[in-house]
Structure 1
């Protein structure tokens, strides 16, 4: 059976993006340092929880890795479709699928029995890889909210809530909008416990020992 080239491209984008996104930089970096990040703080493998080990270097490695894999997934999809001579629409869809799959890979990594992080850094990296101005806007929203409130989860929720509407008004392509909205919804689902604590005024500030 002959598989249509576009479907094969989309399948490769999904598979490659997911496997790349599944690389657990937080787990690997802390494990090499003799720490099991899953037994620290919230047990999350993301950079915020890695910072609670007191190792800023490991937190930085985790952040760069988690951000980079999102950007790399989108970038590789763009490179592959460009070399394959795909048209603009196919390239945009493949990039969006690869980015969404990388995000899912971080949330549900196959290497850690599908127990991953909350995806904020990978969300940022994916946006940056797909449309760097939108990545900068999302990062700016996170930094501004963090500077005012000093709450990591709130910063992520604000950035996630605003990025899709801003992308729409800035005339980003529909595949990008779909990817951004998909990731934003999952960020809210993954932060549901944080949202409950925010509503109760119990969410810890950045740098606190315990937080999820």
Structure 2
């Protein structure tokens, strides 16, 4: 006797959940396959288009990610997620103006998404709009003041905005939270020496930077710091 097994085909949600599971395992191609199956069942499934974009984003495929985020946005223009993700993809491509436009849309749709502040600040920093960048970094730090990278990039904006004293304060806060960022020690040392003529402190921070593998510090150390070995 032949037994026929009539299994039910998986639902949209089951396929979507399977794709998310593969994403968490960093199996992005497998995840995309699941999201494609969801889209075949329902081309208007915004979450699947968005998640597919995230899978491409995680692989560094910015253009493919943007294409899928734009589809998700067209399917549901009321969700902040595709705009936020579009902003992130444009930020990676250094298309800073497009990034800011999409971050602004995401923020207008959901003002409670505080992650937007830091990312938009980076885009504004890339556009050399230092005052606006500082404002976004300040807002990010109001949410969580213990973010070393936010302090670091705020310092970059402050340097660009000709405020080296406040930049030094921001850098000191950054390295107090994370003492492994060679770039932060480098900028701290350079700013101390160039703005305040503090050679001793500057050289100390530059040597710390070099010790952390930040090779740009070597040129400053060779030119301005005493590199003689001590007995």
Q: TM-score, normalised by structure 1?
A: 0.33
User: TM-score, structure 2 length as denominator?
Assistant: 0.31
Structure number with the bigger relative contact order (C-alpha 8 A, sep ≥ 6) is: 1
